[in-house]
A and B are shown apart, each in its own frame.
Chain A
Amino acid sequence: MATPTAVAGRIARPRATGLWRDAWGRLRKNRLAVVGLFLVIALVFVGVFGPWLAPYPYSQQDLAAVFAAGGGPLPPLSPGHVLGTDQLGRDLLSRLLDGARISVSVAFVVQIVILGIGVPIGAIAGWFGGRLDNALMRFTDIIYAFPDLLFIILMSVAFRETVFGQALDGLLLVFVAIGLTSWVTVARLVRGQMLSLKETEFVEAARAIGVADRRIVTRHLLPNGIGPIIVAVTLGIPAAILAEATLAYIGIGVQPPRASWGSLIAEGQKFIRSEPHLVVFPAIAIALALVGFTFLGDGLRDALDPKLKGKQ
């Protein structure tokens, strides 16, 4: 006598998996995404453990070696300095590692600010709708129209002398300023998610059996809606790193002797024809960070795409 269990036993079926395992499987198969993941992990690792990995403190100068070599920056593969030094004898590798630390902090802090502002505003706007939604969306229009670099520069210069501005060598101020101009996309995203999920049938069902609103949001809406948010955060990190690097290049934000990749490029610019390594290596570092997060973000977006769920 044939029963469904016997069917399952005899004819092979693919294993049913949950959303996250499915997504992870798809992500793994995406070569670019895997490359991105490695780059991101490497960057985070280097950023966190930088001070211990660096052969020298980032501000330590080796003027003696510079004078001995003729007064200019030391080239790569000099004794004791794998990537060379700048004109003050500061080891480039160590300074790059400090830059990595700064970039990782940018990624982290800026996204916290973005989520901290964007998610509540978006969720409130989406959930309550009506006039509140309208008012909040008008507010985001204003933020969106603001030329962001200008706002960041203004804020950075305005509060430079304050305690807040001095925190983390001037970086906290920049991070917060970048975050303040970038939260709109996440807010709109969360609002959109809230709007569409609010009307779905499973919310009606949950309500019908008496589940409290707050529970609905946390246990039903968030797990489903969180995918695009993760993607937006990951893809927002390159923009933040780029903004910080650009600002550092023009001298805003990080204060010497700290070595943001952007400021390294600004410092190394004048030697570009004789000692290009001072610009090339930081540029490569920036490129790897941007590419890594972008590929990972793309891969996450494809992996979490609900339309592909269960396929292939």
Chain B
Amino acid sequence: MITYLARRILWIIPVLFAVSIITFVLMHAVPGGPWDAEKRLPAGVQARLNAEYGLDKPLYEQYIQWAGAFVTGDLGPSYRSRDRRVNDIVADGIATTVQLGVMAFTLSVVVGIPLGIFAALGHNRWPDYLSTSVSIIGIATPSFVLAILLVVLFAVELGWFPTGGWKGPQYWVLPTVALAGFPIAVIARYTRASMLEVTRKDYIRTAQSKGLGNTSVVSRHMIRNALIPVVTILGPTLAFLVTGSFIIETIFSVPGIGRFYISAISTRDYSLLMAMTMLYAFAIAFLNVVVDVLYAYIDPRIRYS
């Protein structure tokens, strides 16, 4: 168990390494440079800036310089504000982004799993139809469409929530719901399918043959077994939340790091791009490890083998 955990965590390092190389290469394959967005600078000024940021060196040297700084925790100089480091920019926004992600994840699980259980227990009756309808809406509506609809309906028309910003709990609602819409649907469907499969298992028949009441059978025997496979989709769900958050942050003007995404690419902000990619990749890899370990832990067949 411990060796498995250690091995998975250590494996993240080479993966991140490879990701950094690919990103670095791609980033520099994008034509243009960080100074293009500003007014046309005289060639001399540009050359001096390039030298200052080390952009005149060959690519592999730049990479080594970046990597060297990265492993000491230095995310590099910011290209947008001359006197700040990327560390500061990230520090400003990371808490918000993480908070949004955690809230959306919690909402997805807290709504999605019971919805799926509910649907399976009321198979082919109204709970099933209700839950399936909600799931259909969830998978049919891209997050940006859901965001637009939520803003129009609840913020503009009804005025219950603000349209953007992050100044208090009421600002959290719409972005979280918009981000969680799709995962709720996926988790609900998966849970329902898993429950229905468990219903057909022999050990449920054994539980019934013991004369156990319906609630005991369902809670002790069905749900426990049905939730184990559901854990496997939590990994991709988390990846979705990580990579999809930047759109929601952009639409709702949430002051996280996600909203810098698009602009970082268009302004060729190399250090910010590298930092964000590494952060996202680390989050995805790490969360996947957590999910895999969790899965191995809650299934006794794996835990004790």
Direct contact of A and B (CB under 8 A): yes
Query: CB within 8 Å of B: which residues of A?
Result: 138, 141-142, 144-151, 153-155, 157-159, 161, 238, 242, 245-246, 249-250, 262, 265, 269, 272-273, 276, 279, 283, 286-288, 290-291, 294
Contact A245-B19, Cβ < 8 Å, known A145-B284, A155-B26, A279-B148? no
Contacts A146-B19, A150-B243, A246-B247 known; list 18 others, CB within 8 Å. Answer: A141-B11, A142-B15, A142-B19, A145-B16, A145-B19, A145-B281, A150-B276, A151-B22, A154-B265, A157-B266, A158-B27, A249-B247, A262-B142, A265-B144, A265-B145, A279-B148, A286-B142, A287-B140
Q: How big is the B interface, by class?
A: 35 or more
B295 to chain A, nearest CB (A): 16
Contact A283-B141, Cβ < 8 Å, known A145-B19, A147-B243, A250-B262? yes
Complex contacts, B239 vs chain A, CB 8 Å: 147
Complex contacts, A272 vs chain B, CB 8 Å: 148, 152
Contact of B139 among A147, A157, A161, A291 (CB under 8 A): A291
Query: Can you identify 5 A-B contacts, CB atoms within 8 angstroms?
Result: A250-B247, A265-B145, A272-B148, A273-B156, A286-B140
- Chain B: CB-nearest residue to A147: B280
What CA separation (Å) do A241 and B75 show in the bound complex? Answer: 35
- Chain A: CB-nearest residue to B146: A283
In the bound complex, do residue B242 and residue A147 qualify as a contact, i.e. CB atoms below 8 Å apart? yes
What CA separation (Å) do A294 and B193 show in the bound complex? Answer: 14
B30 CB–A CB distance under 8 Å: yes
Complex contacts, A145 vs chain B, CB 8 Å: 12, 15-16, 19, 281, 284-285, 288
What CA separation (Å) do A159 and B242 show in the bound complex? Answer: 25
What CA separation (Å) do A157 and B30 show in the bound complex? Answer: 6
Complex contacts, B26 vs chain A, CB 8 Å: 151, 154-155, 158
Q: Taking chain A's interface residues, is the majority helix, strand, or loop, or is none over half, making it mixed?
A: helix
Complex contacts, B12 vs chain A, CB 8 Å: 145
Query: CB within 8 Å of A: which residues of B?
Result: 11-12, 14-16, 18-19, 22-23, 26-27, 29-31, 136, 139-145, 148-149, 152, 156, 239, 242-244, 246-247, 250, 261-262, 265-266, 276-277, 280-281, 284-285, 288
What CA separation (Å) do A242 and B144 show in the bound complex? Answer: 10
Complex contacts, B140 vs chain A, CB 8 Å: 286-288, 290-291
B162 to chain A, nearest CB (A): 17
- Chain B: CB-nearest residue to A32: B132
What CA separation (Å) do A288 and B137 show in the bound complex? Answer: 10
A286 to chain B, nearest CB (A): 6
What CA separation (Å) do A122 and B233 show in the bound complex? Answer: 21
